[in-house]
Structure 1
Amino acid sequence: MENLQRNIASYYRSKDPIRNLKIRVTLKKVTAASVVPTFAHENKKPSDQIEMQTIKKEDEKTENKAEECVIGWQEKLYCKRETDYYADSENCNSVLDHLYHKEVLSVRNSRTNKRLFSYVDHDNFADDENNDDDETIYVTPVAKRISNLRRRRLANKSMGDRADKDGNKVALQFKNPISDDSSRTLSKLIVPEQSMFIMADLSNDDREPTKEDEYVLCSVTINSNGLISIKPDFNTSNSSYRIVTKSEYQEVYEYRLEHCSKPMSKVEEDREKKALKELYQRHGAYQASLIGTEFATPPPSGTLRVNIFGEINMAKNFEYNDIYIHYCLYLTTEWKTRDSDVIAGFTQISKCKGDKEKTAHFGHPFEFEITYEKANFNQVGVSEWPQLFIEVVSCDSWQRYRIEGYGYTLIPQAPGMHKIEIQTWRPVAPDLVSEMRRFFIGGAPELNDITYVSHPAGSDGPCLSKYGLKTASSGSVTVKMNVLQQSQFFVDKTKSRKKVGTLLDKLGGEETQAALAKVIDAFQKARNRLKAARGELDGIY
């Protein structure tokens, strides 16, 4: 029969309470490692005339009889040494000792276990055979102080004076030092776990049992995370665990551990599943009530959702004071917004301050949520990115309204925080009468379609001409935007871990932006060359 290793632990998890755990232990004495037969002679005879029938052997039926016991979680079974110790009331000092004293008196005469017993979590016991923490684990100073603090709380011993006659502080000392077993047990209290030990008293009948005769058969530990540790594991084959005593006889014992918890019936299992389902549903409803219902679900595949949280910060360098701004978001047919969302608005009237730069502060927030939906956006791309148009209007105390400027900006294509300064212009009438009318009674030329500032809606021709429109430069408006983008594309990119480009590459916006940047760069270079050429001509003439 194969001998199993006793120093290997197994770990389990169970949804059932740990109090339902039952372990069946079977202990059996095999033989002694050194068999020394005893001879008893009725009459002294020579050694060569000893008869075999006069050899007195121990009763094998009595010695080899197996002892079996079923032990539950934190079930206390007393050995002979504990029974004799707790039977005397003078040995009882704590509340737990008095409780054990009452239990021992009640079960002393009806005790069925002979060698098998147990230590529960409240007992002062530490496994010395499997405890090698002193050599392998470094104990920090904080852990030592916590252990000493718990020792002072639990030892319940009288301490020396805190100060001498002169008032000098002295170190606290225990008059009755705590035992080594207690110190090891108290050091383990730092770990949030509960444990119990199934023991065996393997002492001989010819002398009183001691702690050296007690051997650990199995240790069961459960921590705060519900992880159950059983060392050694349950026997699954015909093999047994073996123990050799340290006495002079070196007796050999074998034992088996079996899991014998009562299985659940079909009705109880269905009832538990139903209760757990209701519990999870209530917990989910409770979490949903904490989160609320205002959070939107992620957009479906092939859809881009853009959230814009912006602020019209300030405006400066406009001609008249007391200005306000009219803003609106322009979307093409591929872009959609919620029915309840407002994509246009007005700021409050702000008075300009400052001599050199007339600055009007607004701090007006706005928020847009737009989605891009197109079946073939992977091939076609975004036809046109959304634009924010602004119209700056002044209004004085005589209720004279004047158009101060028009401007626009593209919604940033990259997510994050953006600060944009929008330069504006206003239409100018060709005659002097219109300017006088603007000064005295208000009113000025204005645009019927605000999209004319950028690319007029409906102008699909190959050439865009604004020839004949006279304009004058005006002030600038500062806008801050925080852009958030949400799409299933980001999830697919994370899962695939492939370099498939950015989302804007898929939507076509990045390529459009890059082409536009190249055109603007080429225009700036040509303009600089033209200025340099004019400077050379002025120098010649």
Structure 2
Amino acid sequence: MADLYEPDFGAAYYRSKDPVKNLKFNVQLDRVTSSNIVPSSEPEEHNGDAQSMPNDIQKDSEQVVIVWQEKIFSQREIETYRVDNNFDGLERKYHEEVTAILSRGTTPNNRIFTYVDHDNFSQSDENVFYMTNSPSETPTVLAEKMAHLRRRRVGGGKQTRQRNTGFVPKVNIVDSQPSDDLRNRNHIMEAPSQVMYIMADLSPRERPATPDEEVILGIVALDCNGVLCMRPDFNRGRKPYVVETSSFGKEVFEYMIEHASKVMNRQEQDKEMKMYREVYNRHKDFLQACVGDEFEMPAPDVLRLLVYGEIESAKNFEFDDLYCHFFVDLPKFWTAEKHQQLSWVTQTCSTKVEGRDDVAKFSFPFSFELFYKNDSVNEDEQDEVPHFPLIMLEVLSLDSFKRFRTEGYTYVTVPNAPGSKKITSHCWRPIGMSVASELRRYFVGGSPELEDQTYTAIPSTFQGSHLSKYGFRTETTGEVTVNLNVMMQARAFMEKKSQKRSLGSLLDNLGVNAVQANIASVLEAFKKARQRMMQARENAEKELTKTTGRSVESAA
């Protein structure tokens, strides 16, 4: 079964924390010719002496140990850089290295050579690794695109950041004709990496080397996260890889790539793990010192409310191209810091048909932080039921003629308990007293609007005990879906954890517990009264049945 095994040219990934300068590869290249595959003929007798016919071509074998980013020159590069042609930059450095090699008196005659990260070969976009050695194979569209994305900038100039802080442009946010560089930066988040190519020159020894006879034996890439990509993988005792020349004759070569780095012994591994644990512990102590032992707590008798929300979607409205304007309405005793934003406007979104609904997906995030403290000296106000903030929403539409229309109003109450909640709120919009207002809305744009948007719930100017909106004409429109994540923070929560008792000090001052307790007591009393009433009713029916039965018997 070993003869039926075919080597895998796929990529293998490794992760290492060791210095990359210690990485070594053992590469062995052997030429397999017809004289090696076909057995030689029997020796012939000539003048009574047995003479064996020598092989026409001897086996060509080469083995070399390569260090990470080690430059090994090919025969073509040696011939190119041995003569000074006024080279500059990297080529000048290669000329000096080749001159130093030739000054030793020996001319290298190696087949295996390398291209390092700063070579032009490594920076080009045409190096697509083929999965087979078929001459008719062409790279796929995906292979060409990914090869283009792996391109790095040639040159050693420093690249400064365009901006040091986050910035959202106010104009030209959407580029209708993006460049390839912009598309690659926005669509592919690739970590910086270094690459190294292990190459082989398969040209015959008797003639000069040509670029057409140079083949890729392996590609080694290392990113900044310590992930090593080896393509193809190390042989590790498996069958060698096979490569074939493209020239006339079709000579076959076999090669093997093995890991040749020095392996740490058990004592060195334990020492390294001990060092890592010490570094991690020091880093943990440093973070603990920066953060502190306690959270930032609000003032006593103050409830801190943090809301992280999202306007998810809107659906089933009359017109297309919707956007939402919403703000947070603060009831009595609720405050916010001066820099806190409490009003937002979403982007304009076109609707899409999902089932039977026309849905506009906004996915617009928002967040705010509020504080509640009942510092009133009036006893009636202290006993007043606390109201949580309201999020007032207005849905509008904007068509291609820049006509604005009010599509609906609604509000969402911030939950009075921490946690995540998804709320779907139905909308309405005011309508005029005649058909002319609807015709004006359709043709000209514009529609009846609320002068005070808090009229959606309870008007801010309302002072009475009973609210009546009788006579106000509205029409049901679509609905808006909002996701809310609520967090609460107060000193009373710490007291509950430390004293292991029910939470009451702060929330009682807020009136939340008192109101909940009163409501619970009223419901419990109503439940008991209802049970007593039902029991009395059943007893009365039984007594009536008994009395009626006796009267019937006496009558009979």
TM range (shorter): 0.3 to 0.5
Higher alpha-carbon Rg: 1
Q: What's the TM-score once normalised by structure 2's chain length? A: 0.44
Q: What's the TM-score once normalised by structure 1's chain length? A: 0.45
